[in-house]
Amino acid sequence: QEKMAASLSGGEKHRLMLSRLMLERPNFLLLDEPDNHLDLESIIALGEALYNFKGVVLCISHDRELVSAFA
């Protein structure tokens, strides 16, 4: 089902932004609380994506499990 970005929930917008960011393949990521508004499944996927990221990640997060997933 297609939705306009403006009609997405906060979590959906956040997942969309993170997906777009990963598709752009930057070499440096600066993330401030990237797991805000994400469900558990999305947080796990984010941790895996950051673990496989081939660049530099500077991540500010209170979620120790997320940081441990890719540190």
3-state secondary structure 1-33: CCCCHHHCCHHHHHHHHHHHHHHHCCCEEEEEC
> pLDDT for 27-61, tens place per residue?
999 999 998 888 898 889 889 988 999 999 999 99
What is the predicted pLDDT for the residue at 1? 65
Q: Is 58 in a helix, a strand, or coil? A: strand
- Residue indicated by tokens 């890719």: 70
**Tokens matching residue 54:** 């081939």
Q: Is 62 in a helix, a strand, or coil? A: coil
Q: What is the DSSP letter of 55?
A: S
Q: Which domains does the chain have, with CATH numbers?
A: 5-70 (3.40.50.300)
pTM over 0.85: no
